[in-house]
């Protein structure tokens, strides 16, 4: 396996960075919970939104590693804007592209690729079923040409601007599948938002005899849950890549700060405690980066073991990087609306979102027991 970047990959990263320096630098790292709508339009105009989605829906038909390169380039300047490349290329966008009927894929993906302020949200977790997704109680009863969906979903991000919801349900045969519920579907109610630690609104949605046409079925059958989670694995990896660009930005800032901030008559970088902290930050960034690269470098989607390893290692180590950046900046990073404060709270949330490290360690163990160590091929 060769992880050397190709000339094309270098060009994508360079072009993305140059665009970010021209268009996004002035407001870099100030968006946080606000949607950077203007930046989304610029990314769309230059073909960076929906890069991995099919061309017939306005996407670029490119690979995940291509999107990763673009995200790194943008993230070196404006990490908040770089996160748009995660939300427009992975997760529910891939699920809709792969499993939805063409009419719905076109309806919901074209606006995303065009940079419009819209989204397709995931409705998976429930008040009593977080990491243990298979404990869900939301049901879809068979009513001829439609499903009648009843239940409640919790902690749904971006529900307020979502055109549709990839909704996980328990089907009459007992299997867990999913249906695509339109945001205006009768019987669907979006609750008032609750704000998490980094001020992102998250919602409960309520489904009360919500009638969903069977043409909106995404996956059903005995292997339905596995099929969809396999597609979702790449979202975990790209989510960690989004966190990586944030952590890298903070590392660069802390590195410069330590060489100019003086205490005791010398730059704090001259103190071994600080220089060792910066060293550990660089090591954590590099090991996380190469695990992300490996997971996204093949032609196939990453399997359970590799995606879960990436989620665990990168999630924990990148959080350590941000914690160290905060420690180096001290009060200058702790007081006020600082990048360190925002990033610390955001990355802490990613140790919960998408499954906790504890759950993913369980998943890795199961994969190891079944398939052994994931060798490089």
pLDDT digits (tens, 9 = 90+) for 130-173: 777 778 999 999 999 999 999 999 999 889 889 999 999 999 99
Structure tokens at 91: 């997760």
pLDDT tens per residue, range 162-214: 999 999 999 999 999 999 999 999 999 999 999 888 788 899 999 999 999 99
The per-residue pLDDT of the chain, averaged, comes to 91
Find all residues with CB under 8 Å of 306, minimum gap 6, and list them: 294, 295, 374
Domains of the chain, first to last: 7-113 (1.10.540.10), 119-221 (2.40.110.10), 225-371 (1.20.140.10)
Residue 2 has a pLDDT of 55
Cβ 203 vs Cβ 156: under 8 Å: yes
Q: How far apart are CA 231 and CA 221, in angstroms?
A: 16
pLDDT of residue 376 exceeding 70, the answer is: no
Work out the average pLDDT over 105-125. Answer: 93
Select from 77, 79, 53 the least CA-distant residue to 67.
53
Query: Does the pLDDT of residue 58 top 70, yes or no?
Result: yes
Look up residue 84 and give its two tokens.
């748009």
Distance, in Å, from the CA atom of 116 to the CA atom of 147, rounded to the nearest integer, reads 30
Residues with Cβ within 8 Å of 295's Cβ and at least 6 positions away in sequence, in order, are 234, 237, 302, 306, 307, 310
Give dist(CA 301, CA 354) in Å, integer. Answer: 17
End-to-end CA distance of the chain: 7
Cα–Cα distance list, 199 to 176, 196, 225 (Å): 31, 5, 31
**259, 274 contact by CB (below 8 A):** no
Give the DSSP per-residue string, 53-108: S-GGGT-----HHHHHHHHHHHHTT-HHHHHHHHHTTSTHHHHHHHHS-HHHHHHH
Give the model's confidence band at 30: pLDDT under 50 very low, under 70 low, under 90 confident, else very high: confident
pLDDT of res. 31 = 82
Question: How large is the average pLDDT for residues 299-325?
Answer: 89
pLDDT, position 256: 96
Write the DSSP symbol of residue 151. Answer: E
Alpha-carbon distances, residue 233 vs 101, 158, 225 (angstroms): 22, 20, 12
**How is the chain split among helix, strand and coil, in percent rounded to 5?**
55, 15, 30
Does pTM top 0.75 for this prediction?
Answer: yes
Determine the Cα–Cα distance for residues 98 and 228; give it in Å rounded to an integer.
Answer: 9
Residue 135: the pLDDT is 86
Strands 201-213, 194-195: pairing is antiparallel
Share of the chain above pLDDT 70, in %: 98
Residues 317/284, Cβ–Cβ less than 8 Å: yes
322 — phi, psi (to 5°)? -65, -40
What residues are paired with 156 via a beta bridge?
203
């Amino acid at each position: 396996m060769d992880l050397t970047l190709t000339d094309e990959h270098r060009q994508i990263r360079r072009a993305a960075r140059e665009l970010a320096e021209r268009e996004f630098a002035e407001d870099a790292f100030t968006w946080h919970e606000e949607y950077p709508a203007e930046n989304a339009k610029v990314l769309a105009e230059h073909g960076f939104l929906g890069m991995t989605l099919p061309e017939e829906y306005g996407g670029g038909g490119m690979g995940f590693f291509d999107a990763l390169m673009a995200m790194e380039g943008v993230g070196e300047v404006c990490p908040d804007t770089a996160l748009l490349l995660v939300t427009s290329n992975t997760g529910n966008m891939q699920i809709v592209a792969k499993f939805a009927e063409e009419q719905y894929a076109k309806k919901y993906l074209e606006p995303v690729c065009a940079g419009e302020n819209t989204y397709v949200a995931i409705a998976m977790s429930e008040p009593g079923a977080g990491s243990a997704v298979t404990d869900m109680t939301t049901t879809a009863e068979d009513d001829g040409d439609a499903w009648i969906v009843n239940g409640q979903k919790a902690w749904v991000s971006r529900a307020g601007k979502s055109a549709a919801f990839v909704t996980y349900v328990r089907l009459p045969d007992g299997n867990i599948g999913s249906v695509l519920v339109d945001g205006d579907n009768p019987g669907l109610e979006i609750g008032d938002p609750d704000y998490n630690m980094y001020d992102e609104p998250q919602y409960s949605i309520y489904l009360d005899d919500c009638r969903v046409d069977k043409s909106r079925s995404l996956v059903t059958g005995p292997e339905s849950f596995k099929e969809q989670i396999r597609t979702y694995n790449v979202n975990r990896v790209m989510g960690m890549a989004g966190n990586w660009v944030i952590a890298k930005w903070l590392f660069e800032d802390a590195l410069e700060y330590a060489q100019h901030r003086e205490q005791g008559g010398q730059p704090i970088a001259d103190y071994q405690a600080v220089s060792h902290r910066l060293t550990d930050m660089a090591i954590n960034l590099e090991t996380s980066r190469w695990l992300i690269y490996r997971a996204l470098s093949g032609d196939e989607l990453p399997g359970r073991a590799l995606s879960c390893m990436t989620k665990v290692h990168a999630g924990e180590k990148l959080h350590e990087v941000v914690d160290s950046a905060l420690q180096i900046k001290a009060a200058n990073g702790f007081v006020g609306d600082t990048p360190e404060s925002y990033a610390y709270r955001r990355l802490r949330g990613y140790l919960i979102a998408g499954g906790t490290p504890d759950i993913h360690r369980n998943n890795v163990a199961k994969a190891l027991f079944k398939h052994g160590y994931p060798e490089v091929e």
